[in-house]
Structure 1
Amino acid sequence: MVCPAFYSHIKAFEVLGQALKVRGHDVVFILPKEAETMVCQSDIEIVTLAASASIMSGVRHRRRDGGGAGILGILRAVADRARETDQFCRIAPDIMRSMQIDAIIADEFEPGAGLVAAYLGLPHISLASALPIERDVAMPLPFLDWPYDPTEEGLARNRGGERVGKFFMRKQRKVIQAWATRFGLGPREDDVACLSPVLRLSQTVSVFDFPRPRGTKLKPVGPIRSASVARLTKETCLTIDPTRPFVFASLGTVQGHRYSLFKKIASACETLDVQLMIAHCGGLSPRQASRLPAKWVVSFVDQRAMLARADVCVTHGGLNTVLDCLAVGTPMLALPIGYDQPGVGARILHHGVGKAIAAKRAKPRTIANALSDLIANRAAFVNRIAPIQAEIANAGGARAAAEAVDRVLASAQSEDGRRYAAPNEAANDFAPGRFGLFARS
């Protein structure tokens, strides 16, 4: 299982890994060094890729800037990904050989996994922890907040967006093309070309997505979450006044340091006289947390438990938080910042399950106006969420994903009885032991 250093992505992979272990598989995580501490399951074997100075510098930039916000943020995020993909392609073949790996399940954010799988002849399954990067021509790029528009005007706009996207992704595309050539795989233009040719799992259910073409290899399984009972903590057991609206606000683990945005949210809630809980995921200092005018300011909390009690959620538009809101029927105000969050916000608006305001344009007054509408018309938003909530409940989550993986592996085994496929002869300069820069725990 190959995953980048994003906390919410790793949580989904952990749950899927456990589901596969129950079905009799041995599971190994291959992660960037800085992601090792994000794994909570002690019985999962981890192989970490040694981080170079340039990669660690990129990680510090990502944490400082919140990643993916603005033109510079996008360029830094793409440069980080390009370095990580280059490192993965250098190191991963030796790991796969030495551990006799039979198949790869990879986050869509790491295109190198698709290249290595094709090079080694291994079954490969993609998992979209964020919005799927596969798309129809009528579907805007995930990092854009454009609406779905299949008219000729919309298609022309999307073609322009694709050209801009290629410009932003040029470093990553060069790395992909270079390693495809070195591995003897033929042309691979971009990360979409590195997706699994047989199965692409997605946490995004179809009724919350834009329309996708027939014949897609995308299999929506819904949120991949554990079935554990919500933890009872002093925060989840807090006394909430039932006569006043309760708003839960979180900007996730990557964006949780944004004090100024939290302050705008808190100021808006003050004008509405609502009860506000802010969960900053360790992003704020104790001094910053103490200065926020919210009733409760916490670092971490059982998010799903709090969302089930909230009247409205204010979120950065991260897919995992949004899916959690939809699963419990909670309307939301999204304040997208970077990555695929603008695309998630566009889907919130498309389906009428909440509001969305770009974080850079959000002011206390605009936030207050949006929250006021969500609270006053909550029943209408909840009604529109209902069919999405039902599909999430029936999608299957980790169980459905594990069953789909098993079907792919069974098919691959019937086609090729070898335990380990031989590497592509066109790339035999990558001999075992040449790039042995990894550690096991």
Structure 2
Amino acid sequence: MARIAFICPPFAAHLASFAALGEALRARGHEPFFLLNAGAPGTTGDIPLHHVSARAGDPAVGRVLAAAEKPGGLVATLRTIADSAALTEQLCAGGRERLKALGAEAIVGDQIEPAGFLLARALGLPFVGLACAVPIDPAPGVPLPFLDWPYEPDAHGKLRRTRSIADVLSRRQNQVIAGWAERFGIEPVASLQDCLGPVQVAQMVPEVDLPRPRPLPFVPVGPLRRAAELANAPLPFARPDKPLVFATMGTLLGGDLKLWRALAKACREAGTALVLAHGGRLGDADAAGLAVHHAAAFLPYRAVMRHAALVITHGGSNTVLDALACGVPLLVRPVGFDQPGNLARVRHHRLGEELAGLRRPGALAAQIRRVVGDETMHARCREVASALARAGGAERAAEIVEGALRP
């Protein structure tokens, strides 16, 4: 039995994936717990949650989360990287003593939060990196996760230039990483990529990812989901007599009435039934006014997707992988972060398309009708679903973490 600390950004999708891993580790007799930034919300299921202390001048987690939820493409992504540097600084400043007091014996850290790696090295603890989102491990021809560029194995110059630009834009984060490595007295590290560690787990699998050289730098395990999420739950609404289209835009666009109205109209024209989850961003009157088959703040994704013919989404990693795990093609409208990277992967494997422009309702309806009826695309998605099922999910990830505990 081991006390295993989880260190990740305070974003809901990341917390959910870590919580699923925690459930699997606890079933094996371990004691997982979260150590998060001061004020991070307690959305970790029943896995214990602890915080580091806030310091004078630290950004409030609520402000960082609110800023991250504002659509803004690359600009918003880079702003979040800058905010993340301050959150890393806070975790490093208070994490070492907090982890000692909590009796941590190992750390599982999110790829995009370098504090987990730095603290593990400072304390001499086993470390496992977890890529909840698109893996940031560099590979020839693979663009940065926040770009929707296609895989281009010969575009070396363009990719080198974008990585150089990313290094400049991540300068503050890199300074924090290098500074705390020096203060902790560990080996010099200079960037986020230096903090990935030799043992890594990723939700992404080769059947969805862009091509990478073998051996992979991480073990692909597929979506990390709790047992309750995977259970064959009944639909929370009457099953429609038309093809079911499920739409969710997370919290990024959940309150965008213009978007929902365009999708509702297009689905009616396409002869499909729209079910949407707006993340609590619509009032009851607005949701009812859309005249869709069913609208709710939150829905059990897997339960709905098992009956869906199409998923429309902003392209968050968890939603994309859940849809593919159910064998359902996607229409993606990315906003920022790794969503463009997920669109690039959906395109590469022909598992869906980018959502047509909302100003062309006729084209949008035609796209929905075409993708719903594209049996070849559906067959490819079913093949990916089989690959994701074989990957092992949270149980396989727990095995890898457990293996890292052994001398």
Would you say same fold, with TM above 0.5?
yes
Residue number among 347, 353, 356 corresponding to 1:355 in the alignment: 353
- Counterpart residue number, 2:49: 46
Q: Which runs of 5+ in 1 are unaligned?
A: 415-441
The separation in 1 between residues aligned to 2:61 and 2:78, in whole angstroms, is 11
Task: Measure how far apart 1:251 and its partner are.
Answer: 0.9
Q: Residue deviations 1:310-365, cap 9 Å, x none?
A: 1111011111111111111111101111110000000000000111249xx65443
Task: Measure how far apart 1:64 and its partner are.
Answer: 5.2
Task: Measure how far apart 1:202 and its partner are.
Answer: 0.5
- Counterpart residue number, 1:407: 403
The AA in structure 1 aligned to 2:79 is R
CA 1:117–1:354: 2 relative to 1, 3 Å: same
Q: 1:328-367 to 2 correspondence within 5 Å?
A: 328-357=326-355, 362-365=358-361, 366-367=363-364
The separation in 2 between residues aligned to 1:9 and 1:137, in whole angstroms, is 27
- Counterpart residue number, 1:32: 37
- Counterpart residue number, 1:195: 196
Q: 1:18-417 to 2 correspondence within 5 Å?
A: 18-41=23-46, 44-51=47-54, 57=60, 59-60=62-63, 62-63=65-66, 66-67=69-70, 69-151=72-154, 154-197=155-198, 199-228=199-228, 229-232=231-234, 236-241=236-241, 244-357=242-355, 362-365=358-361, 366-377=363-374, 379-410=375-406, 414=407
- Counterpart residue number, 1:433: none
Task: Measure how far apart 1:52 and its partner are.
Answer: 5.6
The AA in structure 2 aligned to 1:370 is Q
Task: Measure how far apart 1:375 and its partner are.
Answer: 1.8
CA contact (8 A) 2:37 2:90 kept: no
CA 1:230–1:54: 2 relative to 1, 3 Å: farther
Task: Measure how far apart 1:84 and its partner are.
Answer: 0.4
The AA in structure 1 aligned to 2:222 is G
CA 1:54–1:346: 2 relative to 1, 3 Å: farther
The AA in structure 2 aligned to 1:323 is L
CA contact (8 A) 1:19 1:399 kept: yes
Residue number among 5, 9, 14 corresponding to 1:9 in the alignment: 14
User: What is the aligned length?
Assistant: 399
Instruction: Report SS of the residue matched to 1:126.
Output: strand
Q: Residue deviations 1:68-109, cap 9 Å, x none?
A: 732431232112211100100101001122222111001112
The separation in 2 between residues aligned to 1:132 and 1:4, in whole angstroms, is 15
Task: Measure how far apart 1:122 and its partner are.
Answer: 1.1
Task: Measure how far apart 1:256 and its partner are.
Answer: 2.5
The separation in 1 between residues aligned to 2:179 and 2:281, in whole angstroms, is 37
Could you tell me the TM-score, scaled by structure 2's length? 0.91
CA 1:58–1:237: 2 relative to 1, 3 Å: closer
The AA in structure 2 aligned to 1:111 is P
The separation in 1 between residues aligned to 2:346 and 2:57, in whole angstroms, is 37
- Which stretch shifts more, 265-274 or 199-208? 265-274
* Cα RMSD for the two superposed structures: 2.1
